[in-house]
Structure 1
Amino acid sequence: MDFFKHMMVLVLGLSGLLFSGCASVYVPSAQHTNLMNEKGELHAAAHAGVNGGDIQAGYAVSDNFGIIGAASFGSSEEEGTADDFHEHSYAEIGGTYFRPIGTKGRYEVMAGVGAGSAESVTQYNFFGPQQVKATGDYTKVFLQNNIGVETGILEAGVAIRLGHVIFRKFETSNTTYEESERGTFFEPSAFARLGWKNVKFETQVGVAGPLQDDIAFDYRTLLFSLGIHLQFNTQ
């Protein structure tokens, strides 16, 4: 009987973690991978993947500095029509420092700030039907490093982003959080694009995970996207 009671406590505890941790409200966006080289470069990109859609832009205002901006959005179903539903919108702006490494190497470091909102609903049928809903508005401060190579038809590299996410307003089916909830995320990824001088097809693959043991909100752990990247020299 004691063994049975211990097993029931363990199962109920695991199911409680499952119920409370799968309505994801933080979704990592596609990362900036411009690999800028000189003043006057204009970059634009559009991505679609497991975390929704992203549009990005970047411009080199000098031979070492540029500005960047992006928007991310996604919706799994029309609101109120399904048991499992997710919707988010997010926008960010920032600056970048870049420099070449030899003739083909590229290095970038960038920083910025963004704001977004999300709503997620998940339906479970474990120990009977149960629905978990989470909503929130958040800001994010990020720092990112890129290193890559550019050969004309092929560009590839790695990106490492740190994002500090602060939910100013956050609530779940069972709890309304009076204070802001926050977490710092480590988001490494690899990217590659292939095509012509001004137009290339791109893919990104990465992961996201918090640097803290416990955070109040759930998140998506996988980043995978396909897109198109445009580059022009305006000088």
Structure 2
Amino acid sequence: MKLRLLILALPLMALQACAPVYIPSARHTHQLDHKGELSGAAFVGTNGIDLQGAYAVSDRFGIAGAASFGDNEEEGNEDYHEHSYGEIAVEYFRVIGNIGRFELLGGAGLGSATSVDNYAFAGTDRAVQATGRYNKLFLQSNIGLETAWVETGLALRLGQVRFTEFETSATTYEEAEAGTFFEPALYARLGWKNIKIEGQLGTADLLQEEVAFDYRPALVSLGIHLNLSTLK
């Protein structure tokens, strides 16, 4: 009897599986060090496209913002994903010695996503669609090193993701679905004094047993990072 119920439940369980709708964005790695400094970055990676900016309003505090979006629809490929996300943050930064850098950011963001994932079940192709809107609160700290030609560091982000709207092919969730994530990343950039090529490698680890929505657990991103002083 139990075996029969399990067999009957398998298709429903499969349909309740979700295509990824939470896609962690590239981490803020501005490494500001003085009032009037402007930082900007553009990345392309496994999460799509990320645009970032930050400005130091004093020798200790700054403001930062970011946007992330992606659309991987391809001709002949039934899998589909699109997302858009934006966030703002307040930043505290401090110079440690000659080359040490420390940053602490706290912020909030809003996003939406739609994903379709095709899979084979019992010889039949099935598609799972998931869509939702969410908000995110996050706290991030960076510890890094900076020279004229090389910069590197570790970013540690803790984020609370809360879906206010979420549904899959099989289920519409009337109540909010939330998850807490630990999102560490290594970053490094190489180039000239004010413009460098940057790479990020990170993960998203769920700090609870499970969530109803699916998410992308890894980040690989490459882009351009710019730092300029707006004050003479």
Q: Please say if 1:57 is aligned against 2:22.
A: no
Q: Is the 8 A contact 2:18 2:129 kept in 1?
A: no
**Change over 3 Å in CA distance of 1:151–1:179 after alignment to 2:** same
Structure 2 partner of 1:42: 38
* TM-score (normalised: structure 1): 0.92
Deviations 1:96-141 (A, max 9, x none): 0000111100000001010010000011113121110000000000
Deviations 1:170-229 (A, max 9, x none): 000000011111001100000000000111000000100211101110000010100000
Deviations 1:42-61 (A, max 9, x none): 00000000110000000000
Structure 1 partner of 2:67: 71
From 81, 88, 96, the counterpart of 2:91: 96
Structure 1 residue ranges (4+ consecutive) displaced by more than 6 angstroms after TM superposition: none
Structure 1 partner of 2:179: 183
Distance in structure 1 (CA, Å) of the matches to 2:12 and 2:146: 48
Aligned residue pair count = 230
Q: Secondary structure at the match of 1:200?
A: strand
Q: Secondary structure at the match of 1:37?
A: coil
Q: Secondary structure at the match of 1:31?
A: coil
Q: Secondary structure at the match of 1:77?
A: coil
Instruction: Report sequence identity in percent.
Output: 56
Q: Please say if 1:145 is aligned against 2:159.
A: no
Gapped regions of structure 1 (runs ≥ 5): none
Structure 2 partner of 1:221: 217
Gapped regions of structure 2 (runs ≥ 5): none
Amino acid at match of 1:93: I
Structure 2 partner of 1:154: 150
Q: What RMSD, in angstroms, separates the aligned Cα atoms of the two structures?
A: 2.2
**Change over 3 Å in CA distance of 1:206–1:172 after alignment to 2:** same
* TM-score (normalised: structure 2): 0.93
Q: Please say if 1:125 is aligned against 2:124.
A: no
Amino acid at match of 1:91: G
Q: Is the 8 A contact 2:16 2:169 kept in 1?
A: no
Amino acid at match of 2:93: F
